[in-house]
């Protein structure tokens, strides 16, 4: 007997999994989402946040471009609080770019993308930061910014209110089968190691770049090519609209202003494993150099951190590599392909088309389960209830939501001063069992995503863990140190100027003033005799004799 | 992996004094006199660099909390990253005032020169009104000026008209002797400011006397209000108008003529804010010629040109360093000068801002906060029980007199006494 039973188990807490979970619950199907880390901690949360108009794909990947056009319009309707309607520019800065223009214009026409050539002077009036290198400008009003964290959390919360469950930090370690039919999954808690079984009628594998690993548990193959992309976060938006280079998609050709930052993207390098994502200094340098060709201020702005994400490109068997591969997606019906009933994978695609991907795979699974309710995710808005998404504060003015720095907020105390996070924004999440670490709080509130990279808010959040969550001081200190550690992983790639000085202030504060490393050694002493700072190994003592 | 190749990042240069340089060290918040006195003020870090990230020139400014900043600039003095914190706050205040309009009170307080001219012309009447409880109550209700705040006493004879009739010492070059080698005759232009002109003519007379005693020719160019009352009352347009006029007149001075100010805030405007905050063309050149009176006298002393033939002055005084003096970045030259005088025992009261900040503490909604900010200083002054408190800034002197009930004077007052002037 399984510990719990449900209709469908969705594996993967990225945008696709969250979209599938919501789609299932809107059709009245009972579902549990299982994620081995936190929501949006894989590909989705490491995207650059560009809501594609399709312009980027319209020449090489027309099918993907057409999907982007449609989905972009739907998301603007249903996810108003997660989409920032910035618009975008495609700019040419060289002769090669200008040669690409006719193909770009033709592609836009074919895909149905609104695109208008505007005089450079007019563009510079609207975007004063446009570089002097810019020769031609196309205005593409349907580019935008999509907040990946709120998108996932919004979908999941919407589903949870309709009865769905989520289990974060829960890894699938096996399946139970009844003949050829899947009858449940076995999971293990990543922290406690506790194993649980969930009985179900169907499993949807929405793990993106990790799809192959999940499928292998059933001895079937799903070929996903993980392609790394590096991004650099600047501390200010620099531009109002997304800036794309008008050329064959390549490295470092987009600057996406979103919320309080601008993100320079991106590179494309095939990697052996979706979790091996080294960031090389030359990639960071390239992103800054290329970004500076389009926008002034890229070199003078403060780079806050660099991060790497992984694209889950589905190998359709073509000889293509990296960017040549399609950004299209595929639903793999393992019942038909491999004879495993009740197991379906959804692979490829991108954040912009997450809803369509969810719709396609849910259509198939619902049909198999005999549910005939049609998909309504294109109509029912994500914020279909008043109390929904109270946490979504960082709304631009045109959405009619309070601005983060609105008058009413300006006199309230803050936990994270860089990103204007108030105690009440954190409180609900502190009580949510799906939230385990301060990184999880960050993904839901943006705490620690500003210039100081959690130097200040980390200790305030640790204090909140004690008051709101009731953990002891040791656990809170550990959580604070872990949070700073994950922030550090991104900061260390941009060590120059202000961020270098910032790191020194952070180190002085936490290591010298708070003495965190010593405290942790005291709280969690490493086992003696293993040469990890926990005492002198016995053989070393023997070698030199007693003091 | 950190390699030497990272030097290629050297072309990535951030702007100086920019908001980007803030490392959130919070040093500014710890010195902010307002943040220390009220919890509803988030402090310079939040209102300066942190809010600046969110400000968009094309959108309405969020003004809540901005008006609580008193403009003392201690945050800028303290910032280890040299962020122009107060300047960001000031710009936002001004933009907000342009969008939302300003009150009659703030308009009036910005036009200090106009008010003072009127007060001076009607001196006996104005002074009577300013001390009449009924009139003050009316003033509080109608204009918003706190009834407990003592207002400056106006003088009918202005410094400007006194100086016109002032008998200059005979023009004879000082003897070239030892210690004065190469010292040509110096000429300074005195920027006296509205306070000396309409309220404390005596200070101006003392400044002129001290300078002339040292063989320095004093000229008084025509001048306008320095503009700081307009700046702090969110009227940069007016401040800039004044500034442009002053810069034009002061630029016309012959080369080699230094400019002296006896008010720290006027001096700071001329030295720094004209060029930076108000971006007045030519202000950088004018600013480089401006000295605070005590700074200038100390420089004379270091050059061996100051007449140190002082009469003993037997007094024990406290010295309060005004916040804007700290912004000059010149240390406390007044204290150094006073220590040259036999008999003078001078001690610094190191208790921070007095709280008045020009017109800030005059306003009905700020009066209590202003007194709370200054309370530490008042206590220290009362406890010390000395003859008087010296401060280079006129509004600091008003506040100390009001809050601690002590007498106050500009440091030049002691210096003039040591030279035998009364």
Interface contact flag, A407 B81, Cβ < 8 Å: no
Q: Is B171 contained in some domain?
A: no
Owning domain of residue B347: 315-418
Q: Between A and B, how many residue pairs show a Cβ–Cβ distance under 8 A?
A: 98
**Domains parsed from chain A with CATH numbers:** 4-43+149-224+327-369 (3.50.50.60), 50-144+225-310 (3.30.9.10), 408-514 (no CATH)
Phi first, then psi: give them for residue B345, nearest 5 degrees. Answer: -110, 110
Q: Is B24 contained in some domain?
A: yes
Match 């009834």 to its residue by tokens.
B147
pLDDT at B53: 83
Q: Which residues of A touch B59 (CB under 8 A)?
A: 397
Interface contact flag, B3 A281, Cβ < 8 Å: yes
- Span A322-360, pLDDT tens digits: 566 677 889 999 999 999 999 999 999 889 999 999 999
Interface contact flag, A450 B53, Cβ < 8 Å: yes
Nearest CB among B8, B51, B59 relative to A397 is that of B59
3-state secondary structure at position A334: helix
Q: Is B84 contained in some domain?
A: yes
The residue in chain B having the minimum alpha-carbon distance to the alpha carbon of residue A394 is B54
Nearest CB among A236, A281, A410 relative to B64 is that of A410
The answer to whether B401 and B395 have CB atoms below 8 angstroms apart is no
C-alpha to C-alpha distance for A188 and A174, rounded to whole angstroms:
9
Mean pLDDT of A281-299: 92
Match 């030097």 to its residue by tokens.
B7
Q: Where are the beta strands (DSSP E) in A259-320?
A: 261-265, 269-270, 303-314
User: Which residues, in sequence order, are CB contacts of A297 under 8 Å at separation 6+?
Assistant: A129, A238
Q: In the structure, what pLDDT confidence band is assigned to residue A525 with cuts at 50, 70 and 90?
A: confident
Beta strands at A343-348 and A202-205: parallel, antiparallel or unpaired: parallel
Domain boundary among B44, B76, B100: B100
Q: Is B364 contained in some domain?
A: yes
pLDDT at A540: 46
On the question of pLDDT at A533 being above 60, the answer is no
User: Which residues, in sequence order, are CB contacts of A71 under 8 Å at separation 6+?
Assistant: A352, A353, A354, A355, A356
Beta strands at A242-245 and A170-178: parallel, antiparallel or unpaired: unpaired
On the question of pLDDT at A433 being above 60, the answer is yes
Interface contact flag, A300 B13, Cβ < 8 Å: yes
Q: Which residues of B touch A236 (CB under 8 A)?
A: 20, 53
C-alpha to C-alpha distance for A466 and A447, rounded to whole angstroms:
17
First to last CA, chain B: 72
Note the ipTM here: 0.82
The answer to whether A185 and A175 have CB atoms below 8 angstroms apart is yes
pLDDT at A422: 82
Angle at A95 (CA atoms; ends A89, A100), nearest 5 degrees: 55
Q: Looking only at Cα atoms, what is the longest distance across chain B?
A: 77
C-alpha to C-alpha distance for B29 and B23, rounded to whole angstroms:
13
pLDDT at B103: 87
Q: In the structure, what pLDDT confidence band is assigned to residue A400 with cuts at 50, 70 and 90?
A: very low
Nearest CB among A236, A403, A496 relative to B53 is that of A236
Phi first, then psi: give them for residue A470, nearest 5 degrees. Answer: 80, 20
The residues with which A50 forms a beta bridge, in sequence order, are A145
Domain boundary among B68, B100, B132: B100
On the question of pLDDT at A269 being above 60, the answer is yes
C-alpha to C-alpha distance for A477 and A463, rounded to whole angstroms:
9
User: Which residues, in sequence order, are CB contacts of A337 under 8 Å at separation 6+?
Assistant: A220
On the question of pLDDT at A392 being above 50, the answer is no
B362 Cα to chain A: minimum distance (Å): 23
Query: What is this structure's pTM?
Result: 0.87
Q: Which residues of A touch B65 (CB under 8 A)?
A: 410-411
- Span A140-157, pLDDT tens digits: 999 999 989 989 998 998
The answer to whether A24 and A218 have CB atoms below 8 angstroms apart is no
Mutate to test the interface with B, among A302, A447, A487 (most CBs of B within 10 A): A302
The residue in chain A having the minimum alpha-carbon distance to the alpha carbon of residue B17 is A498
C-alpha to C-alpha distance for B138 and B135, rounded to whole angstroms:
5
pLDDT at A398: 29
pLDDT at A394: 42
B361 Cα to chain A: minimum distance (Å): 21
Structure tokens at B67: 């008006």
Match 């550090």 to its residue by tokens.
A488
Q: Is B221 contained in some domain?
A: no
A493 Cα to chain B: minimum distance (Å): 9
- SS3 letters across A405-468: CCHHHCCCCCCECCCCECHHHHHHHHCCCCCCCHHHHHHHHCCCCCCCCCCCHHHHHHHHHHHH
Q: Is B145 contained in some domain?
A: no
Q: Is B232 contained in some domain?
A: no
3-state secondary structure at position B76: helix
Phi first, then psi: give them for residue A330, nearest 5 degrees. Answer: -145, 145
First to last CA, chain A: 61
Q: Is B80 contained in some domain?
A: yes
C-alpha to C-alpha distance for B352 and B343, rounded to whole angstroms:
27
pLDDT at A421: 84
pLDDT at A535: 46
CATH number of the domain at B369, please. Answer: 3.40.50
Nearest CB among B5, B25, B46 relative to A417 is that of B46
Structure tokens at A375: 């998909």
Interface contact flag, B24 A455, Cβ < 8 Å: yes
DSSP code of residue B281? T
Residue B69 vs residues A183, A280, B72, B361, B397: alpha-carbon distances, Å: 66, 44, 8, 11, 20
| Nearest C-alpha neighbor of B320 from the set B265, B257, B394, B256 | B394
List the pLDDT tens digit at each of the 422 positions of chain B: 333 443 434 344 556 668 889 999 999 999 999 999 988 888 999 889 988 888 877 777 888 888 899 999 999 999 998 899 999 999 998 888 888 888 889 999 999 999 999 999 998 999 999 999 999 999 999 999 999 999 999 999 999 999 999 877 655 544 444 444 344 579 999 999 999 999 999 999 999 999 999 999 999 999 999 999 999 998 999 999 999 999 999 999 998 899 999 999 999 999 999 998 899 999 999 999 999 999 999 999 999 999 999 999 999 999 999 999 999 999 999 999 999 999 999 999 999 999 999 999 999 999 999 999 999 999 999 999 877 999 999 999 999 999 999 999 999 999 999 999 87
Q: In the structure, what pLDDT confidence band is assigned to residue A315 with cuts at 50, 70 and 90?
A: confident
CB count within 10 Å of CB A31 equals 27
Structure tokens at A178: 């009844």
The residue in chain A having the minimum alpha-carbon distance to the alpha carbon of residue B62 is A407
Interface contact flag, A451 B3, Cβ < 8 Å: no
C-alpha to C-alpha distance for B408 and B390, rounded to whole angstroms:
6
On the question of pLDDT at A4 being above 80, the answer is yes
pLDDT at A323: 63
- Span A20-77, pLDDT tens digits: 999 999 999 999 999 999 999 999 999 999 999 999 999 988 988 999 999 999 998 8
- How long, in residues, is chain A? 547
Q: In the structure, what pLDDT confidence band is assigned to residue A402 with cuts at 50, 70 and 90?
A: very low
User: Which residues, in sequence order, are CB contacts of A338 under 8 Å at separation 6+?
Assistant: A218, A220
Mutate to test the interface with B, among A289, A405, A446 (most CBs of B within 10 A): A405
Q: Which residues of B touch A497 (CB under 8 A)?
A: 12-14, 20
Q: In the structure, what pLDDT confidence band is assigned to residue A401 with cuts at 50, 70 and 90?
A: very low
Q: Which residues of A touch B45 (CB under 8 A)?
A: 417
Angle at B340 (CA atoms; ends B337, B344), nearest 5 degrees: 95
Domain boundary among B100, B129, B159: B100
CATH number of the domain at B76, please. Answer: 1.10.1060.10
pLDDT at A408: 61
Among A209-213, A259-263, B62-66, B381-385, name the one with the lowest average pLDDT. Answer: B62-66
Nearest CB among B9, B42, B62 relative to A285 is that of B9
Centroid of chain to Cα B141: 29
B333 Cα to chain A: minimum distance (Å): 33
Domain count within chain B: 2
Q: How many helices (H) and strands (E) does chain B have?
A: 23, 8
Interface contact flag, B1 A281, Cβ < 8 Å: yes
Mutate to test the interface with A, among B8, B16, B28, B50 (most CBs of A within 10 A): B50
User: Which residues, in sequence order, are CB contacts of B422 under 8 Å at separation 6+?
Assistant: none
- Residue ranges of chain A whose CB lies within 8 Å of a chain B CB: 235-236, 260, 281-282, 285, 288, 299-303, 397, 403-408, 410-411, 413-414, 417-418, 420, 450-452, 455-456, 495-498, 501-502, 505
Nearest CB among A260, A411, A497 relative to B53 is that of A260
C-alpha to C-alpha distance for A135 and A119, rounded to whole angstroms:
9
For A503, what's the count of Cα atoms within 13 Å in the CB-facing half-sphere?
Answer: 18
What secondary structure does DSSP assign to B314-375, as a single string? -EEEEE---HHHHHHTS--HHHHHHTTSTTEEEEE------S-TTTGGGBTTTHHHHHHHHH
- Residue ranges of chain B whose CB lies within 8 Å of a chain A CB: 1-3, 5-6, 8-15, 20-26, 40, 42, 45-46, 50-51, 53-55, 59, 62-65, 81
The residue in chain B having the minimum alpha-carbon distance to the alpha carbon of residue A418 is B50
Q: Give percent above pLDDT 90 in chain A.
A: 68
Beta strands at B217-219 and B187-191: parallel, antiparallel or unpaired: parallel
Q: Which residues of B touch A403 (CB under 8 A)?
A: 54, 62
């Amino acid at each position: 007997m399984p510990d719990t039973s449900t209709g469908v188990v969705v594996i993967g807490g990225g945008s696709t999994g969250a979209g599938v979970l919501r789609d299932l619950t809107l059709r009245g199907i009972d579902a549990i989402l299982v994620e081995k880390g936190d929501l949006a901690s894989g590909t989705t949360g490491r995207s650059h946040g560009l809501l594609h108009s399709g312009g980027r794909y319209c020449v090489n990947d027309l099918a993907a471009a057409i999907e982007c056009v449609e989905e972009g319009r739907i998301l603007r309707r249903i996810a108003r609080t997660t989409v920032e309607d910035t618009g975008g520019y495609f700019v040419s800065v060289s002769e090669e770019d200008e040669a690409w223009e006719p193909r770009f214009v033709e592609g836009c026409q074919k895909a149905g993308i609104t695109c208008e050539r505007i005089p450079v002077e007019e563009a510079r009036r609207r975007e004063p930061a446009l570089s002097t290198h810019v020769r031609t400008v196309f205005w593409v009003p349907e580019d935008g910014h999509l907040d990946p964290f709120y998108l996932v959390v919004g979908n999941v919360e919407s589903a949870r209110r309709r009865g769905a469950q989520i289990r974060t930090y829960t890894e699938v370690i096996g399946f139970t089968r009844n003949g050829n039919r899947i009858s449940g999954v076995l999971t293990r808690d990543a922290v406690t190691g506790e194993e649980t079984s969930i009985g179900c009628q169907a499993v949807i594998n929405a793990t993106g770049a990790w799809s192959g690993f999940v499928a292998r548990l059933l001895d079937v193959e799903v070929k996903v090519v993980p392609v790394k992309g590096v991004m650099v976060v600047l501390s200010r938006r620099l531009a109002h609209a997304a800036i794309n280079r008008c050329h064959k998609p390549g490295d470092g050709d987009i600057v996406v202003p979103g919320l309080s930052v601008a993100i320079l993207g991106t590179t494309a390098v095939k990697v052996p494993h979706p979790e091996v994502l080294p960031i090389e200094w030359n990639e960071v340098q390239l992103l800054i150099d290329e970004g500076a060709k389009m926008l002034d201020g890229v070199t003078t702005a403060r780079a806050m951190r660099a991060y790497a994400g992984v694209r889950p490109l589905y190998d359709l068997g073509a000889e293509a590599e990296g960017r040549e591969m399609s950004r299209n997606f595929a639903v793999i019906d393992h019942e038909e392909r491999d004879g495993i009933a009740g197991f379906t994978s959804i692979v490829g695609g991108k954040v912009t088309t997450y809803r369509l991907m969810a719709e396609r795979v849910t259509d198939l699974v619902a049909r198999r389960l005999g549910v005939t309710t049609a998909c309504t995710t294109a109509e029912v808005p994500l914020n279909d209830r008043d109390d929904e998404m109270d946490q979504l504060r960082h709304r631009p003015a045109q959405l009619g939501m309070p601005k983060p720095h609105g008058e009413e907020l300006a006199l309230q105390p803050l936990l994270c001063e860089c990103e204007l996070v108030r105690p009440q924004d954190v409180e609900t999440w502190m009580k949510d069992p799906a939230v385990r670490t301060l990184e999880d709080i960050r993904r839901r509130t943006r705490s620690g995503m500003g210039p100081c990279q959690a130097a200040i808010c980390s200790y305030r959040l640790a204090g909140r863990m004690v008051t709101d969550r009731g953990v002891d001081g040791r656990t809170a200190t550990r959580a604070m140190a872990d949070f700073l550690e994950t922030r550090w992983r991104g900061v260390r790639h941009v060590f120059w100027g202000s961020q270098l000085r910032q790191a020194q202030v952070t180190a002085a504060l936490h290591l010298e003033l708070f003495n965190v490393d010593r405290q942790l050694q005291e709280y969690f002493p490493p086992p003696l005799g293993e040469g990890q700072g926990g005492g002198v190994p016995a053989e070393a003592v023997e070698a030199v004799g007693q003091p | 992996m950190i390699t030497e190749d990272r030097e290629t990042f050297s072309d990535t240069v951030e702007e100086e004094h920019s908001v980007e340089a803030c490392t959130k060290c919070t040093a500014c918040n710890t010195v902010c006199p307002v943040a220390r006195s009220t919890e509803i003020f988030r402090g310079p870090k939040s209102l300066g660099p942190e809010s600046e990230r969110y400000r968009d020139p094309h959108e309405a400014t969020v003004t809540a909390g901005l008006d609580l900043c008193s403009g003392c600039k201690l945050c800028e003095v303290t910032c280890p990253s040299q962020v122009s914190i107060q300047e960001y706050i000031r710009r936002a205040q001004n933009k907000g005032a342009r969008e939302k309009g300003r009150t009659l009170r703030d308009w009036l307080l910005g036009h200090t020169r106009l008010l003072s001219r009127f007060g001076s012309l009607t001196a006996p009447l104005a002074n009577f009104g300013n001390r009449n409880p009924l009139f003050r109550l009316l003033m509080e209700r109608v204009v918003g000026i706190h009834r407990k705040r003592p207002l400056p006493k106006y003088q009918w004879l202005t410094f400007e008209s006194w100086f016109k009739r002032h008998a200059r010492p005979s023009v004879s070059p000082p003897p070239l002797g030892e210690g004065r080698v190469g010292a040509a005759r110096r000429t300074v232009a005195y920027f006296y400011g509205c306070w000396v002109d309409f309220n404390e003519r005596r200070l101006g007379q003392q400044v002129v006397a001290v300078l002339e005693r040292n063989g320095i020719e004093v000229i008084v160019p025509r001048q306008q209000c320095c503009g700081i009352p307009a700046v702090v009352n969110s009227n940069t347009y007016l401040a800039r108008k004044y500034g442009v006029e002053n810069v034009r007149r002061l630029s016309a001075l012959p080369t080699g003529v230094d400019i002296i100010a006896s008010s720290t805030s006027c001096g700071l405007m001329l030295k720094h804010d004209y060029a930076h905050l108000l971006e007045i063309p030519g202000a950088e050149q004018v600013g480089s010629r401006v000295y605070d009176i005590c700074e200038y006298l100390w420089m004379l002393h270091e050059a061996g040109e100051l007449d140190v033939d002082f009469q003993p002055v037997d007094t024990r005084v406290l010295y309060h360093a005004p916040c804007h003096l700290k912004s000059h970045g010149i240390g406390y030259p007044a204290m150094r000068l006073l220590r040259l005088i036999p008999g003078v025992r001078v001690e610094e009261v190191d208790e921070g801002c007095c709280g008045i900040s020009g017109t800030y503490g005059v306003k009905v909604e700020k009066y209590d906060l202003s007194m709370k900010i200054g309370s530490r200083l008042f206590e220290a002054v009362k406890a010390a029980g000395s003859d008087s408190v010296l401060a280079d800034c006129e509004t600091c002197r008003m506040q100390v007199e009001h809050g601690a009930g002590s007498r106050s004077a500009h440091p030049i007052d002691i210096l003039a006494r040591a030279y035998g002037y009364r």
